[in-house]
Amino acid sequence: MITHDVIVVGSGLAGMRAAVEIRRKAPHADIALITKVYPTRSHSGAAQGGIAAALGNIRYDANGVPVLAPEDQPGDDWLTHMYDTVKGADFIGDQDAQEILAREAVPTIYELEHMGVPFSRTPDGRIAQRPFGGHTNPRACYAADRTGHALLHTLYGELVRYNVKVYPEWYMLSVVIEDNICRGVTALDIRTGEVHSVNAKATMFGTGGYGRAFKITSNAFSSTGDGITAAYRAGVPLEDMEFVQFHPTGLFSHGILLSEGARGEGGYLLNGLNERFMSRYAPGRMELAPRDVVSRSIYSELEAGRGAGPNAEYVLLDLRHLGKQKLDERLPQITELARDYLGIDPVTEPVPIQPTAHYSMGGIPTDADGRVVRGENEVVQGFFAAGECACASVHGANRLGTNSLLEATVYGRRTGQTIANFLHTESQSGVGAMPAMPPAALKQAEDEIRELMSRNGREIAADIRKDLQATMFQNAGVFRSAEKLEAELGIIEELRERFALISLDDKGRRYNTELIETLELAHLLEFSACIVAGALAREESRGAHARRDFPKRDDTQWMKHTLAYRDADGRPRLDYKAVRYGPDGPRFQPEERKY
């Protein structure tokens, strides 16, 4: 058995930022990080457009053009950022957490800059900022259109600086919770095929999102919600799983992300009639309305037969008027992606796009300090989560662009502080002993793998995955209805039965990626049922959850978070909990959400 004071699972921004913070605040703590990839491969690196913070380096002038703000007159403030986030979330976010996000954004960004993040700059050497959807002011700090990559590699450097022990290519199999105390995890060393139990006083998840449940997605192959399902299997409910963000501008048929920064820099969306159709849906903000609004608008255009292309099945992102120089300087990555994957040069041609599953608002419920909670707010001792796998909830029903890199770093940092304090308190009170790891946990993890490998049916895992992704995209996508969601629940049941009848080609232990893909598929099947059950029950439209049969938001009935508990038969059982506010109550009251 391996033992550490702290085990962090996941090497994206949240996990790495937390690890660094624990190193700083509790330098003697023995901390290690396990990750199913190598840290620099984590999906945080695919984020493009920016990271929000009310630095106020840039402001809009009287004509709405972004200009440099005088140093003594910042063009932004954290409260406006908070308001934008609350409204973007369609008022179901937890305002205590949203306040922390907006308040701590500014010091968090400066700290990242001091770590060496290569931000793009204003002419006077400050961090450059640009407009983004749903944000009142231009507050997206960026490193060209590879902001996530710049942050990820910088934080990886910090791991090296602080000499954090990393177990690369270890696949977490289960989180072990007994008597409401988290005891650590079990994990598979992919390289050797050995299963280990990892005992820890504090276990933190920064395991990312669940976009791979959908056919068209911007997410990496690795975004399979492993941590989310592991927590669910260990008795932690999943919160608000029905809120899935579809990013408006995925590369047509591939789903690969084309940054919202493209619209932030002035890009247009055009339908098949060459109209800037957003004037119909969000005349105030046009292309820079929040993502849920823009994705629905695109679908509405397609359904009205106003799509572009031979089959009218996509719309166009037009960047031609920005000019080659601006594209090269501000948006070089997406320019290259369009060329490489569609053979289209955005300098001379508009790019076919379609909404793509992008971000998981739901996940493992936490309080505003990163502690995992069950029920109304009962803390699971020694278990923490941050980033996309967690639901604090800062994004509510719809996340604003640039708030995810922010959440990962603000909450990674904050959760690291919580863990450092937890270790300190534990050792002061004399109960800092390592919680016992039940020996059965390791055996159970090994048995499950053995059972999976011994299956000898005729089903092909790839077919099951493909069917799940296609039907989830169809039935639990941008627009939903009771009819579609009920059908999808039945489909998931069938797929689960088929999954029992698979067989693996690869019976080896060492570097068995077929085994990993199969374990991931089991996760997809399990949490997809939570997405659909939550969506079916929620008879209203809020943020990214749009019901054709219930087109209005219903604050009387549905101003509450969904909790999906795992039943004995592995199906979700729904419960609900109240939306949280700070000690002084809500800073912002619900209002009609118009842009």
Q: Is 339 assigned a catalytic role?
A: no
Token digits for 110? 């400066």
Indicate whether 153 belongs to the interface with other proteins (CB under 8 A).
Answer: yes
Which of 269, 257, 260 shows the shortest CA–CA distance to 217? Answer: 257
Least Å from the CB of residue 9 to other proteins: 17
Rounded-to-integer distance, Cα 377 and Cα 208, Å = 22
Residue from 139, 291, 296, 374 carrying the catalytic annotation: 291
Residue span binding other proteins (CB under 8 A) among the ranges 33-41, 60-68, 236-244, 578-586: 33-41
Which of 247, 236, 207, 250 shows the shortest CA–CA distance to 341? Answer: 250
Q: Which is nearer to other proteins, 184 or 350 (CB)?
A: 350
Indicate whether 460 belongs to the interface with other proteins (CB under 8 A).
Answer: yes
Indicate whether 144 belongs to the interface with other proteins (CB under 8 A).
Answer: yes
Residue span binding other proteins (CB under 8 A) among the ranges 194-202, 254-262, 280-288, 580-588: 254-262
Q: Which of 461, 468, 519, 525 binds other proteins (CB under 8 A)?
A: 461
Residue span binding other proteins (CB under 8 A) among the ranges 249-257, 275-283, 390-398, 470-478: 249-257
Token digits for 14? 């949240």
Q: Which of 501, 513, 573, 594 binds other proteins (CB under 8 A)?
A: 513
Is there a contact between 264 and 272 (Cβ–Cβ < 8 Å)? Answer: no
Indicate whether 459 belongs to the interface with other proteins (CB under 8 A).
Answer: no
Is there a contact between 197 and 434 (Cβ–Cβ < 8 Å)? Answer: no
**Count of residues interacting with other proteins (CB under 8 A):** 66
Least Å from the CB of residue 155 to other proteins: 9
Give whole-number Cα distances, 350 to 254, 309, 568, in Å.
16, 11, 51
Give whole-number Cα distances, 8 to 172, 204, 545, in Å.
11, 5, 31
Token digits for 440? 């059965």
Indicate whether 40 belongs to the interface with other proteins (CB under 8 A).
Answer: yes
Give whole-number Cα distances, 112 to 27, 105, 157, 161, 525, in Å.
20, 10, 12, 14, 37
Which of 523, 534, 542 shows the shortest CA–CA distance to 574? Answer: 534
CB atoms within 10 A of CB 41: 16
DSSP one-letter string for 17-39: HHHHHHHHHSTTS-EEEEESS-G
Least Å from the CB of residue 147 to other proteins: 11
C-alpha dihedral sign at 438, 440, 443, 444: negative
Q: Which of 342, 357, 408, 445 binds other proteins (CB under 8 A)?
A: 342
Q: Which of 62, 63, 123, 451 binds other proteins (CB under 8 A)?
A: 123
Residue span binding other proteins (CB under 8 A) among the ranges 233-241, 292-300, 341-349, 393-401: 341-349
CB within 8 A of 95, min separation 6: which ones? 82, 86, 579, 580, 581, 582, 586, 587, 588
State which of positions 159-218 bind other proteins (CB under 8 A): 160-161, 168, 191, 218
Q: Which of 68, 79, 115, 537 binds other proteins (CB under 8 A)?
A: 115
Helices (H), 265-368: 278-281, 291-303, 323-330, 332-342
Q: Which is nearer to other proteins, 123 or 284 (CB)?
A: 123
Residue span binding other proteins (CB under 8 A) among the ranges 158-166, 288-296, 310-318, 540-548: 158-166
Q: Which is nearer to other proteins, 103 or 424 (CB)?
A: 103
Dihedral angle computed from the Cα positions of residues 201, 206, 207 and 209, in that order, rounded to the nearest 10 degrees: 140
Q: Which is nearer to other proteins, 261 or 572 (CB)?
A: 261
Print the binding letters for residues 288-327 with other proteins: x by CB under 8 A, - otherwise.
Answer: ----------------------------------------
Three-state DSSP state, 59? strand
Least Å from the CB of residue 136 to other proteins: 22
Q: Which is nearer to other proteins, 126 or 414 (CB)?
A: 126
Dihedral angle computed from the Cα positions of residues 420, 422, 426 and 427, in that order, rounded to the nearest 10 degrees: 10
Indicate whether 95 belongs to the interface with other proteins (CB under 8 A).
Answer: no
Q: Which is nearer to other proteins, 43 or 577 (CB)?
A: 43
Least Å from the CB of residue 432 to other proteins: 31
Indicate whether 157 belongs to the interface with other proteins (CB under 8 A).
Answer: yes
CB within 8 A of 433, min separation 6: which ones? none
Least Å from the CB of residue 77 to other proteins: 15
Indicate whether 68 belongs to the interface with other proteins (CB under 8 A).
Answer: no
85-123 core/surface letters (b: 16 or more CB in 10 A; e: else) = bbbbbbbbbbbbbbbbbbbbbbebbebbbeeebebbeee
Q: Which of 146, 196, 395, 414 binds other proteins (CB under 8 A)?
A: 146
Least Å from the CB of residue 221 to other proteins: 5
Q: Which of 127, 270, 319, 380 binds other proteins (CB under 8 A)?
A: 127
Indicate whether 59 belongs to the interface with other proteins (CB under 8 A).
Answer: no
Amino acid at 543: G
Q: Which of 64, 310, 343, 430 binds other proteins (CB under 8 A)?
A: 343
Q: Is the peptide bond before 174 cis (omega within 30 degrees of 0)?
A: no
Least Å from the CB of residue 325 to other proteins: 12
Torsion region of 312: left, alpha or beta (phi above 0 gives left; psi -120 to 50 gives alpha): left
Q: Which of 4, 43, 542, 577 binds other proteins (CB under 8 A)?
A: 43
Is there a contact between 344 and 316 (Cβ–Cβ < 8 Å)? Answer: no
Is there a contact between 293 and 286 (Cβ–Cβ < 8 Å)? Answer: no
Indicate whether 126 belongs to the interface with other proteins (CB under 8 A).
Answer: yes
Indicate whether 349 belongs to the interface with other proteins (CB under 8 A).
Answer: no
Contact footprint for other proteins (CB under 8 A): 37-38, 40-43, 45-46, 55, 109-110, 113-116, 118-127, 143-144, 146, 149-150, 153-154, 156-158, 160-161, 168, 191, 218, 220-222, 253-254, 256-257, 333, 336-337, 340-343, 460-462, 504-506, 508, 510-514
Catalytic residues, by residue number, are 291
